[in-house]
Amino acid sequence: MLYNLLAPLGDDFIFFNLFRYLTFRTGCAIMTALVICFLIGPGMIRWLKSKQGSASNIREYLEEAHAKKAGTPTMGGLMVLISVTISTLLWADLSNHYVWIALMVMVGFGLIGFGDDYLKLTKKNSKGLSGKLKLVAQVSIGLIATLWIMHVAPETLNHHVAIPFFKSLFLNLGWFFIPWAVVVMVGASNAVNLTDGLDGLAIVPVAIAAACFGLIAYLVGNAIYSNYLQIPFVPGTGELAILCGALVGAAMGFLWYNAPPAMVFMGDTGSLSMGGVLGAMAVITKHELVLAIIGGLFVLETVSVIVQVASFKLTGKRVFRMAPLHHHYEKKGWSEPTVVIRFWIIAVILALIGLSTLKLR
């Protein structure tokens, strides 16, 4: 918004030169989102507690292990959603279609999660919206976003997927790109949701992935850097670095309240929206497969659930003591901080491997 307001002044306004730099605006977006999160956090936590009352926020199969967390309000992801949205609108170029696409996915998925969390807060159960209803809504938003991306993207890339580790190798999916992109967004959204089970576990890997995709968006949107690294050049994607920066700042602000012992849980409002926007940015920048590496922790958590369910249905036996994977290690006797910090380390390692593909192609 500031960029668009000051742009007509051009060089006559000396400070506008600063606003021309994505790096400057990204830094401002990080700090703005962080400050907003700090400012609204205490009041929002008090409001959520007042709304929750005696409603349960702990899944039935975890009530014994996580009994001490009973009463901790959920839906804290709302502070992340508000912080990122305001910061992005303030610092990004609002004439950029990709910014609006990413915001639409984030807010849309966040509203789905909000509906789910609100039912959990106001009703005496932890089920929320039905899984089918959430999935239909996610697919609908993902479909709109995909068609919009295909309309805006260069014709030479709007049906294509880049293959990591190979220079200038693209897979033309044709119209199959539509279900592919929808699956990436919906899958990323639900993968983050599955990972969100321990204090601070999901928010740090989200921040790491957002930082990585901020860099990727900046490079993909720059003709010189993309040519040097031999990665797809998608004009306009650099503005997504602003949103990624805002997400990093908001994530750090939320972690202040979500660090063990958590004062608030992000709930589906946070996990669905953050996962969804990461998926959208991966589709826009043509780095969907790289997301699977950078967000490998989310993939591992999702796969653990799939393997557990498939094994039990086919053989009647469980592979893990409990799924998702973080609960398996809890059952093995690892303390919650140990699980969280070790999973953070894994997230950092996978992110570095994912970023290495930018040069190895």
Closest of 156, 147, 35, 70 to residue 101, by C-alpha: 147
Q: Is the dihedral of CA 128, 70, 268, 94 positive or negative?
A: positive
296 with 208: CB under 8 angstroms? Answer: no
Residues annotated in the binding site for Mg(2+), as ranges? 193, 268
Average the pLDDT over 128-145 and give the result. Answer: 92
Residues annotated in the binding site, as ranges? 193, 268
Structure token digits, residue 216: 């990727």
User: pLDDT band at 152, cuts 50/70/90?
Assistant: very high
DSSP state of 262: P
DSSP state of 353: H
Please report which residue ranges of the chain form alpha helices under DSSP H: 2-6, 16-19, 22-52, 77-91, 97-122, 131-152, 177-195, 203-220, 223-229, 240-258, 267-284, 288-294, 296-315, 325-331, 336-360
How much of the chain, in percent, has pLDDT values that exceed 90? Answer: 61
Provide the 3-class DSSP secondary structure of residue 358.
Answer: helix
What is the reported pTM?
A: 0.91
Average the pLDDT over 140-158 and give the result. Answer: 92
User: pLDDT band at 63, cuts 50/70/90?
Assistant: very low
Which of 8-22, 201-215, 220-234 is the least confident region?
8-22
Please report where in the chains the tokens 């306004």 appear, as a residue.
13
Average the pLDDT over 226-251 and give the result. Answer: 93
Q: What is the pLDDT of residue 14?
A: 52
Predicted confidence (pLDDT) at residue 56 exceeds the cutoff of 70: no
Q: What is the pLDDT of residue 161?
A: 87
Closest of 156, 146, 178 to residue 234, by C-alpha: 156
User: pLDDT band at 52, cuts 50/70/90?
Assistant: confident
Average the pLDDT over 6-16 and give the result. Answer: 55
Question: Which residues in the chain belong to E strands, given as ranges?
Answer: 160-162, 170-172
Amino acid at 74: T
Average the pLDDT over 270-289 and give the result. Answer: 95
Average the pLDDT over 119-146 and give the result. Answer: 86
User: pLDDT band at 69, cuts 50/70/90?
Assistant: low
User: pLDDT band at 108, cuts 50/70/90?
Assistant: very high
Which of 18-32, 157-171, 229-243, 301-315 is the least confident region?
157-171
Predicted confidence (pLDDT) at residue 361 exceeds the cutoff of 60: no
Q: What is the pLDDT of residue 348?
A: 96
Question: Between the CA of residue 356 and those of 275, 289, 349, 353, what are the distances in Å?
Answer: 22, 13, 11, 5
Highest mean pLDDT range out of 19-23, 165-169, 252-256? Answer: 252-256
